[in-house]
Amino acid sequence: MIKKNDLKILVVDDMPENLQVIAKTLENTGYEMRFAEEGTSALLMVKETSFDLILLDVMMPNMDGFEVCRHLKSDPTTASIPVIFITAKTDTASVVTGFAVGGVDYVTKPVQVDELRARVDTHLRLRMREQELRRLSATKDRFVSIVAHDLKTPLGGIQGFVSLLNKQFDDLSTVEIRESISLIGDAVENVTALIENLLSWSSLQVGAVTYNPSNFELSPVVVDVVNSFSGDLEHKQIEVSIKVPDDIWVYADIEMVEAVLRNLVSNGIKFGHRHGLIRLVALKQGKQVLFAVEDNGCGISEDNCSRLFMLDSSVKQTGTYGEIGTGMGLILSKEYVERHGGKIWLESQKDRGTKVYFTLPQANETKC
């Protein structure tokens, strides 16, 4: 969610005393403010900083406010920034020109304090809502894309094996039947995990997930998560090494931490080789706990590491046994870790394995 102190306003006026008046008017509003005394400087500033609103004087030397606005609206990177003109020119032609070049509002001089604050607040609220709508639209598009495409492959596999069993059951050996049933089971597990991640992620986007942190010992949680994958680990004969000291406690939402660990261990199995190794390590680092999940599996290229956490990324990978990887697990894990004020990052090399690190706040010893 966007906060007031994250919003930036650029004020452009060639008269320093006017800048002071506006600065005084908008002080204590919580917005970050920058100032420019002429149009060229303003255009340079918007190239370097992303502003959420521009208060623009019309009558300036060299380049007037209307021309500055034309430049802003002709550039795709700045075209969406709302511009409020501030001027003593109140004739109809000037007002019409202001709207024609892309302004969203008009404030006349001398500036009325309450009026300026009200107009600034209104247009910044509109901008925040517009940005939120864009984010939700991207969320919807990603959700639809995953449902439409990423579920199709495993469901198609299930359909194929069921059809095979239905048509050729009498001709198949017991071993072949068991193999088909096992593959159907694997596909169902993949679909179930994907749907669970999708539902959790969607709930996060609409604020339907409650954050309930508490102090708890990390080691038993890690052991329980690993034990829940005993069948998958045995199937690939993957060994697990856990090095999480008993004295490490975290202040976190235990269900979110379990979900992060499940996703990372699942990836380690999915992209790990037969007879591979997964290491889970935790250590204290200042007021944080640093956790690492490492595998010696197929890895990914360094160029794709950061893209794996991006919502609109198309980076996908197939597991060593043909398992489907959609990337939703890492995206959800990032959301959960950041909800705790932590960070998550990944290091990997193709055919050399992957290390995923994340941090959580360490519990206060007095509360443990």
Name the average pLDDT for the chain.
Answer: 86
For 32, the domain range is 4-111
The reported pLDDT for the residue numbered 70 is 97
Residue 72 lies in a domain: yes
Q: Which of 209, 234, 269 is the last residue of a domain?
A: 209
Sequence-separated (6 or more) residues with CB below 8 Å from residue 149: none
* Same-domain check for residues 175 and 274: no
Among 72, 92, 111, the domain boundary falls at 111
Q: Is residue 128 part of a domain?
A: no
Give pTM, 2 decimals.
0.60
Helix (H) or strand (E) holding 127: helix 113-145
One domain, residues 277 and 323: yes
Domain with residue 253: its CATH number is 3.30.565.10
Residues 270-326 have pLDDT tens digits of 888 889 999 999 999 999 999 999 999 888 877 666 667 765 555 566 555 555 555
Residue 172 has pLDDT above 90, yes or no: no
In a domain, 122, yes or no: no
Count Cβ atoms below 10 Å from residue 206 Cβ, excluding itself. 9
In a domain, 131, yes or no: no
Q: Do residues 242 and 302 both lie within one domain?
A: yes
Do 198 and 184 belong to one domain? yes
What pLDDT digit, counting tens, does each position of 37-79 carry?
Answer: 999 999 999 999 999 999 999 999 989 999 999 999 999 999 9
pLDDT of 1 reads: 46
The one-character DSSP state at 314 is -
**In terms of pLDDT, which residue wins out, 102 or 306?**
102
Residues 246 and 355 occupy one common structural domain = yes
| Domain presence at residue 125 | no
Do 83 and 203 belong together in one domain? no
Other CB atoms closer than 10 Å to residue 318's CB: what's the count? 13
118 within a domain of the structure (yes/no)? no
Structural domains counted in the chain = 3
**Scanning the structure block, which residue is given the tokens 């511009």?**
83
- Say whether both 272 and 306 belong to one domain: yes
Q: Give the number of other CB atoms < 10 A from CB of residue 131.
A: 13
What residue type is assigned to position 365 of the chain?
Answer: E
Question: What CATH number corresponds to the domain at position 10?
Answer: 3.40.50.2300
Are 149 and 189 found together in one domain?
A: yes
- Residue 155, Cβ neighbours under 10 Å: how many? 14
**Do 14 and 41 fall into the same domain?**
yes
pLDDT digit string (tens) for 121-154? Answer: 999 999 989 888 887 787 777 767 666 666 666 6
Q: Are residues 79 and 223 in the same domain?
A: no
In a domain, 340, yes or no: yes
Query: What CA–CA distance (Å, rounded) separates 337 from 162?
Result: 39
Q: Which tens digit of pLDDT belongs to each residue from 254-263?
A: 999 999 999 9
Residue type, position 110, single letter: P
Query: Is 127 within the bounds of a domain?
Result: no
pLDDT recorded at residue 148: 65
